Amino acid sequence: MSKTATINYSHIYNRIDNHNYNHINNHKHNACRKGKYGPGCQENCSEHCDGPDQACYPTDGQCVAGCVAGFGGLTCGDGKKRMKSRPCRSSSCSCSSKVVVVVVVVVVVVVVVVVVVLAVVED
């Protein structure tokens, strides 16, 4: 559910000629319930927003307290990149076990090929 609130605030400017003047603004802002943002408050705040309630601004979803460690971007959706070939897909940003197994197999094959080539060269 979306609500609209009118917020009045005043700016006091000090001009160079030492005369002060007031400027009053009236702005309408959407107010969403906790954890929601966007038109009609249909979007969820990121689970990677920092702070105890993972709060975000109702207009654009930007995290109020910033992002938890390892995440960035406006809505903290950009995860840390620990692997060179692809971005992380989880909050831990650890490499999957399949990738590690493939790398180990490739290294073993290269070592075997080098040993065979050296054995043939020595004969």
Return the domain boundaries, the chain.
1-79, 83-123
pLDDT above 60 (res 6): no
Has this prediction a pTM greater than 0.75?
no
Q: How far apart are CA 71 and CA 90, in angstroms?
A: 11
Q: How far apart are CA 28 and CA 33, in angstroms?
A: 16
- Residue the block writes with tokens 């006091």: 12
Provide mean pLDDT across the span 103-122.
81
- Residue the block writes with tokens 């959407």: 30
User: What is the sign, positive or negative, of the torsion defined by CA atoms of 66, 72, 73, 78?
Assistant: negative
